[in-house]
Amino acid sequence: MIRLRGRAIYRGKARGLALVSPVPIGFLGGVDAETGRVIEVGHPLEGECIAGRVLVFPTGKGSTVGSYTLYRLAKVGKAPAAIINARSEAIVAVGAIMAGIPMVDSVDITQIHTGDIVEVDGEDITVG
């Protein structure tokens, strides 16, 4: 079991299987707002569904409308259970806050791998 600690952007509790991207994610045009599937062509997670997963990626990218994409994903039940970033940026942070998705940054994301069971509780993360 690995214990990590970061900075809580939006405090909350969540548990789920990790889905890890080695590269940034952009939600507007990168994730389908109805299905939660990554649709960015050539992205390492292309075709994967983020719904209910603990989504782990270095940082966000793209348009400010990406915040509303996260909010819409939450409204249709296709949002990630939690978001973990190495470094947050405003677009993803605002989207997580609007959508009520627990989010933590300042985390060594290399310690988390796709398929790991991850628990987020405020700024504390348990990988096991």
Q: Which residues are catalytic?
A: 63
67 three-state secondary structure:
helix
If DSSP codes are grouped into helix, strand and coil, which group holds residue 114?
coil
**Chain CA centroid to CA 59, Å:** 9
Task: Report the alpha-carbon distance of residue 16 to residue 62 in Å, rounded.
Answer: 26
| Token duo for residue 55 | 């989504």
